[in-house]
Structure 1
């Protein structure tokens, strides 16, 4: 086997090492454009988990690397006048130059041929090679020469950053946040060898412009930043090594293989430095390619296997990096926060670390974050224990005169099971059982304001007496048998109306004979085969507004505690808000102010008749997930407008505006928009979307990203989700009907036992250390 590797960075070298070790007879050559000891930047960082992987694949290089690493267990955060040290993180730093020299030595020892100062721009010279590995970096010549095949996308992020070093010793991975007259600067720092530390300096484009850094030389910029971080550097200088200011490129490729050519490392995918995974990602690429070669028959099969098997892990890492980098790009959003909440947000920003996970690492820090959450509630008038408070998800929350016992919400979920809009026994059991399950707030499904406002023939409504009687029976039960509050979500389907039941074809049009006429902001069908809606005129608007008001009046008679106006998911009012679905040329189209006009009219008319002491919320699609559609910034403006009109809460969803939308899914994938709206529009928000555990709920709440947590599918699977979560966290005062008290007490006993077993496991566990000095001392 003949393998040609283009690029002598960590990815190319490590793959060469693994393959040569497994197949000594193979001819493997590494071609590197630089000299053997050339390198740029300062240190690289790995987690303990990553080092364990390296040990598994090549103990010799692992041993050489760990003998040259600096080790630390803590993350330190310095924000304003506060400092925090959070243990249990297990990171190691090493000089990038040292890492490359060690890998070169190991490759040479195994018989890998290395050719330096060799710039490969033409693959034809490798004709006859079995495998060509293009590990030639961010500016990969191989990738760029074959752009049409690999289809790379490069997202240049707005923040500016530069890599510098220092002689300042550090005993933790340390974040420094400094506010200056020019703006906020962030330093991501860690020690990588005695007397040397890496300093990645980052700032937003506005601060970069105001500071004049773009006009400075490398040394001038270093001197300027020595002034910014004078206290933190403590007299130590900042060192430069091609420390140019750049925008970080998030690189993805539609394909990573072409014939017998494969992209590896930064040529294939990058991960933002804020999660310290760039070199890790590259070397894990090498491991994955090695595994694919070893478990398949032939290079063609190996590359096909690598293309599929590696993609998911890379996407997960890149998603975590994306979320993390966005947090740093918007650090101004959190600058008003108290230090503990801010630090908790830093730790949990990428979603890799959660409330429970962090509690295992740093129980005192999480306890203080929980106490801080409770103190804010006490300061707002709640009489609660602030020294030993319950977890945030079980803390109360008030909107106007409505107080919820906890922050868990049964999300609005269409059941498509009504008859002529009338809720059936199914709805009574469905909503009633979830209210008895302990949730603080139960939402109805989108309930339609007229027969022609329905999505499907199975949608609930509130436009006649029979429907009002059925809903009243339900609200009476919820109020009489539970402590839950119940919110009626009102909406109009718009262009998504006259559709089949979900299980018969979601959003697909009914046969013409069964359909009803539909309305929208513009005459645009949802699918090409869907009915073309009528573009609403003023008379239609007045009629629809009157329907909403009439439903609100009936909701008052039903005894609902709260009302939500549905302005999301491409339904009627959402079709006005989004430029994707609103192409009107009158005063209701064009600018965002104009597109808001009719939804605000409807909301204000509802607010005028809904009791002043009862809250109202608005559901928004915070982004359309479509180029040219609504963005998070637009939704901040929309939320502010509804807030000024009397909204108390924004229920933050996303998408479903058009079949062309391309959501980026993942755990808690919509929470970042709830975070943005809450902290920029300064209105309470409800997070929803792939939130599945009480742990995630506590994470979101403690970090100040939302005020309520709506869970849909988890409540479908477990009506007593909240009661079960109370057992896990030992919350004894959660409501349960007296008939269910024995079950509640059993959950509490089981939860206490599980927590005790976990404590015992923690005491018995002996964390592995990769520090040879530590090992010798232990022995």
Structure 2
């Protein structure tokens, strides 16, 4: 049996295989509202045969959006729009669905990537950003406002309210975004967090706000709700957040009944130097997996089925997340199953598409013909 296509679970949520569709920003919402693009995009991915689909980084308040076109879940209107998308998808797919809740902090108010991705100033239609400290993300950018205690309380409440909305929508997995240089990562990293109060300085203080948010969400939701965290294992910058600190953070989350850890890297500084290669982040996940009982998801330039199989079979990670690779090949899990001699779930409307030499790719399907 293929290890990649063996069943697993996240908390009380059963997954048919260990392929996770990672959250991928689409920059296509209006006022935070999901629309027909999200229906087409997510619907397509929900028919891919993966074990879990995680919806893109979803802002918990309007100024927490990376761009003016980010998905949001801070209002009744946002919730209603996403409910319509999910209702349609669930008519045709049983794939568990997760959502990544996020706040962009100082990386908010930015252009879409295809328009350059640069900071949009308030004079040009953007907004004032917030962060742990008044330190710009990149040279020449306007610095964010340093969050005071009232601001921290507001954002914590926003995360909790968004999580409650996600639970109400029947979303099975909630992922907190503490990676890629966004707000929770900004608190963790000494490159972005130079506070002198109880939320800055030593590691315990830098972890405090992200852990407070996790605790507040955990307390607000039923015990069976799966809640995980995505982290950047390292900033790839000297004197930044590092793997050793990630391990301490992971242990703190494990003690709080966190459901899984999703290991990525980078994003907090344009000075990062990332040695890109196939599976370049896998070793971080492997090292963290040795220190935790939580399921560990790895991600990053894993494009070949055989590579993903090796990662799971050798115990380097429990699950493999695919992002851009599944945008390029929306049936990546089908093709992976074909290579690995496994079976994969596919909609019955597509059963006749399986090649003759792969009669059992979609399981014991019965196809009649007139």
**TM-score of the pair, normalised by structure 1:** 0.45
Find out whether 1:428 has 2:39 as its counterpart.
yes
- Which residue pairs with 1:370 in the alignment? none
In structure 1, how many angstroms separate the alpha carbons of the residues matched to 2:167 and 2:201?
36
Structure 1 match to 2:106: 495
* Aligned equivalents of 1:747, 1:461: Cα separation in 2: 45
Match of 1:410 in 2: 21
Structure 1: how far apart are the matches of 2:83 and 2:277?
38
Match of 1:529 in 2: 140
The equivalent of 2:312 in structure 1 is 701
2:247 matches 1:636: yes
CA shift in 2, pair 1:444/1:481, >3 Å? same
- The 2-side partners of 1:518 and 1:621 are apart by 21
- Tell me the residue number matched to 2:150: 539
Aligned positions, number: 361
Q: Once the 2 structures are TM-superposed, how far is the Cα of residue 400 of structure 1 from its aligned partner? A: 1.9
Instruction: Go from structure 1 to structure 2 and tell me whether the alpha carbon gap of 1:429 and 1:747 turns closer, same or farther (over 3 Å shift).
Output: farther
- Distance in 2 (CA, whole Å) between partners of 1:611 and 1:619 is 21
Q: Tell me which of 355, 358, 361 is aligned to 1:748.
A: 358
Cα deviation digits, residues 234-264 of structure 1 (max 9, x gap): xxxxxxxxxxxxxxxxxxxxxxxxxxxxxxx
Aligned residue for 1:738?
Answer: 348
Work out which structure has the larger RCO, using CA pairs closer than 8 Å and 6 or more positions apart in sequence: 2
* Contact 1:478/1:485 (8 A) holds in 2: no
Q: Tell me which of 448, 457, 471 is aligned to 2:59.
A: 448
Q: Which has the larger radius of gyration?
A: 1
The corresponding residue for 1:604 is 215
User: C-alpha displacement at 1:409, in angstroms?
Assistant: 1.0
The residue number in structure 1 matching 2:364 is none
TM-score, with structure 2 as normaliser: 0.94
Q: Residue 308 of structure 2: SS of its match in structure 1?
A: helix
Residue 321 of structure 2 aligns to a residue in which SS? Answer: strand
How far, CA to CA, are the matches of 2:196 and 2:98 in structure 1?
Answer: 36
Shift of 1:749: 4.6
Distance 2:104 2:110 in 1: 9
Q: Secondary structure at the residue paired with 1:488?
A: strand
1:623 matched to 2:234: yes
Q: Secondary structure at the match of 2:56?
A: coil
Residue number in structure 2 paired with 1:675: 286
Q: 1:518 to 1:511 in 2, by over 3 A?
A: closer
Displacement of 1:507: 4.4
- SS of 1:639's partner is helix
CA distance in 1, matches of 2:307, 2:94: 23
TM-superposed CA distance for 1:726, in Å, is: 1.7
How far did residue 729 of structure 1 move? 2.4
Q: CA deviation at 1:637?
A: 0.4
Q: Give the helix-richer structure, 1 or 2.
A: 1
- Aligned-partner Cα distance in 1 for 2:355–2:58: 36
SS in 1 for 2:85: helix
Mapping for residues 86-235 of structure 1, pairs under 5 Å? none
Q: 2:189: which partner in 1?
A: 578
Instruction: Give 1:675 deviation, angstroms.
Output: 0.6
Q: Which of 595, 601, 604 is the matching residue for 2:206?
A: 595
Q: What is the CA-CA distance between 1:483 and the residue it aligns to?
A: 2.8
Matched, 1:712 2:290: no
Output one character per residue of 1:380-432: Cα deviation in whole Å (capped at 9) or x when no partner: xxxxxxxxxx2011001112210000011111111111111111111111111
Question: Which has a greater percent of strand?
Answer: 1
Question: CA contact under 8 A between 1:478 and 1:484: conserved in structure 2?
Answer: no
1:456-467 aligned within 5 A: 456-467=67-78
Contact 1:476–1:559 (CA under 8 A) maintained in structure 2? no
For the 8 Å contact 1:624–1:656, the answer to whether it is kept is: yes
User: Which one is further off, 624-633 or 526-535?
Assistant: 526-535
**Per-residue CA distance 1:101-126 (angstroms, 9 max, x = gap):** xxxxxxxxxxxxxxxxxxxxxxxxxx
CA distance in 1, matches of 2:50, 2:360: 20
Residues 531-571 of structure 1 show CA distances to partners (whole Å, capped at 9, x for unaligned) of: 21111111000000011111111111211011000011111
Change (3 A) 1:746 1:717: farther
1:607 Cα deviation from its structure 2 partner = 1.1
- Contact kept in structure 2, 1:482 and 1:736, CA below 8 Å: no
Q: For the Cα contact (< 8 Å) 2:305–2:340, is it kept in 1? A: no
Per-residue CA deviations over 1:4-38 (Å, capped at 9, x if unaligned) read xxxxxxxxxxxxxxxxxxxxxxxxxxxxxxxxxxx
How far apart are the structure 2 equivalents of 1:707 and 1:745?
A: 30
SS at match of 2:90: helix
What is the root-mean-square deviation of aligned Cα atoms in Å?
A: 1.6
Q: In 1, Cα distance between the equivalents of 2:238 and 2:356? A: 51
Q: Counterparts of 2:55 and 2:103 in 1: how far apart (Å)? A: 14
